[in-house]
Amino acid sequence: LLIGGGIANFTNVAATFRGIIRAITDYQDALRAHAVKIYVRRGGPNYQEGLHAMQELGQSLHLPIFVFGPETHMTAVVAMALGITETHANPATITAPSLFDRLPHVSTGNFADLACSRSGPKKSRMSSVKDDGIYSGLFNKQTRAIVWGVQLKAIQSMLDFDYACCRTVPSVAAIVYPFAGDCTQKFYWGSKDNLFIPQYQSLANALNEHIDARFLINFASFRAAYDITMEAMSIRDETEKRPRLDGIAIIAEGIPERFARRIMFAAKQMNVVVIGPATVGAIKPGCFKVGNTAGMIDNIIASKLHRPGSVAYVSRSGGMSNELNNIISRNTDGVAEGVAIGGDQFPGSTFLDHILRYEADPGVSMMVLLGEAIENGRIRKPLVAWCIGTCAEMLAGKGDANSLGEVQFGHAGACARSQAETAVAKNVRLSKAGAFVPNSFNDLGCLIRKVYEDLVKSGILTPKPDFPPQTVPMDYSWAKELGLIRKPAAFTSTISDDRGSELLYAGMPVSRVLSDNLGIGGVISLLWFKKRLPDYAIAYIERCLIITADHGPAVSGAHNTIVAARADKDLVSSLVSGLLTIGNRFGGAIDAAARQFSEAFDAGQSPSEFVASSRAAGRLIMGIGHRIKSVNNPDTRVTLLAKFARANFPATPLIDYAFQVEKLTTAKRPTLILNVDGLIGVSMVDLLRNCGCFTHEEADEHIRIGALNGLFVLARSIGFIGHYLDQKRLRQGLYRHPWDDITYQLPNLDDIDFPSTSGTNEGTT
């Protein structure tokens, strides 16, 4: 069993192994029965922890699991698993292969003829040679870029690279995003978060404000990337009579081929270097990197990309860039420059474009090509080349081994339409053209090292100096994910969690809330009480909401909402104006009634003792009394709720107690009935205490913190919103209260005059 992949950019490798570990654990018996050996090769962020976990899994389950990191070639585990090469006994101590072990048969050429002859100065920007013959390069330590799109992580990655390389000026000059106003974005520069990068709505404005920015990184979607790229290439520098930008990287995949061809044609016509579409970007170690190229800073440092080397590469796949960075850094003095031209059929620049650029670059001594480009002898520097996909022929049907339609590997741009375009044929032609071609991809690193060392021995190449990078602090979020630091949380939430693949209500997936038809009552039970209450309890909560949703426009809350709506206030403002009237006199007596009645009941007071003690203390009994309802005009809402509770609750001792109190209070005045607030309060106490989900103390805690008043607030919000919408539909104008409904009683003028100190009224003359 082979488990592996390339070196990841940002994926937490240890996290990706958790599911694999669970699967191996679940199927360990079957794996043993079939004598399965497991080979794991992975690199990227936190890969050490992931490989360690896999190694421990093998030891605990007594399974043969062999783990390898980026120090082992990407495909070396295949040969080990097939028995072609020996499996290292102690993978943890694996080192790079010996310089001359397992060297493939290659066309070596004559190194005496590899002196860096030039084909003469070129004036195209792709060749990057100035009129005076001095090579300028597409990227250098002063290169600055504009980023289209609010890709904050990618920008921070570029800035961390700049800091590690000891750049004095950040490589990102500005951000362009047309869907927000001009502003600034804050980033880290080393350990200080004091770097502010301006953000513009217009690309033209950004270019005008930042004349030193000559490169655009286009993070727009495939729908918008074409228009933005064409706009960028059309902006001209009128002083120098040329396009304003030297180069553009297009990250988006899926741009229609018709548009991609237009971009390619326009780029050549306007002499603008376009990298992409469908690319991760490019990197020039020690100088500049495009977006997310090379991944996190630890991978950049591990591949020695903080300082320049002597080997330049070009590939089609962005996914292979990290592998090439790793291979080259382990077998030479490092990478001089690397470009992934993109996986689409029609890239803006080709392999040959960049190979010729490297040919003209005096800082590049040898090149690596993962693709196809040469045949006519224009390249003088040594080139190690490999075209991926040679195994496709082995997987073709036996009856049609030459069929191109059965199996092919690679991006759209690697599609073979004839036998001459297959990977095997391309490798043969590369070898005939003078490139160094290994027998397989597995031998690529060894061949690169062989060519590099021969260049050093012949004196053609002098290894570039090595020096440590400037230390870049680890991001807090990444350090926390790795478990390296801890910090007390500002908030604690125990009712919902939105971090996983599905929203959880008190631990229950929202899909189950829907499939079980819990309704709004069930949602309240989960989010307010953190329990799935019995069905009768959920039904009762919903009845409370239905019955108390509205009580006409005359009540204070609805009145306030209507007045605010007619003053042309928005829905939220109008709703809040109504909700602010809820209190002990209107709708907010549920909690108070629940507390008063339950305390008296728990203290063993009889209904008459409760009434007498309240009267003696001058304290109103909350939940008793109504402005218009009475014994002779009963409140139907109270009747309906009480009937349901008595029919479905396990016990209703507090409801019965409250109705006994009502008999005493209505004997004094018919309107002193148990109102709907009071009934909901006492009934919810009976529900919480007797449903079997809470202890007595837990039920009292819900009452203490105000959960019961929430029922009225939630329900009446429905009615208030209805009144707001009703007034808006009726297009009612500003409300002004009529004079005849107001009693005006002002004091006499003589009563408000301030008496003079002399006791006399002094007039003015």
Residues identified as active-site: 411
Distance CA 220, CA 344 (A): 16
Burial class (CB in 10 A: 0-12, 13-18, 19+), 692: exposed
Residue pointed to by tokens 């991978």 = 299
Distance CA 416, CA 413 (A): 9
CB 198 within 8 A of CB 182: yes
- Reference 643, options 673, 610, 683, 612; nearest CA is 683
CB 436 within 8 A of CB 385: yes
Q: Which two tokens stand for residue 419?
A: 């036998």
Strands 282-284 and 335-340: antiparallel
Beta-strand runs (E) in 307-430: 311-315, 335-340, 366-370, 383-385
Distance CA 714, CA 720 (A): 10
Distance CA 8, CA 207 (A): 34
In three-state secondary structure terms, 434 is coil
- Reference 331, options 178, 428, 426, 454; nearest CA is 454
Q: Which two tokens stand for residue 555?
A: 């009540």
CB 509 within 8 A of CB 73: no
Find the helix packing angle between 653-668 and 636-648, rounded to 10°: 150
CA atoms within 13 A on the CB side of 601: 19
- Reference 461, options 470, 471, 448; nearest CA is 448
CB 366 within 8 A of CB 461: yes
What Å distances lie between residue 122 and 132, 138, 352, CA to CA? 10, 14, 15
CA atoms within 13 A on the CB side of 448: 33
Find the helix packing angle between 257-270 and 225-234, rounded to 10°: 10
Cis? peptide before 308, omega within 30° of 0: no
Distance CA 356, CA 431 (A): 18
- Reference 125, options 214, 45, 200; nearest CA is 214
- Reference 206, options 271, 145, 262, 284; nearest CA is 145
Q: Which two tokens stand for residue 526?
A: 């989960």
- Maximum Cα–Cα distance across the chain: 127
Distance CA 404, CA 416 (A): 7
Give CA torsion, residues 672, 676, 703, 534, to 10 deg. Answer: 140
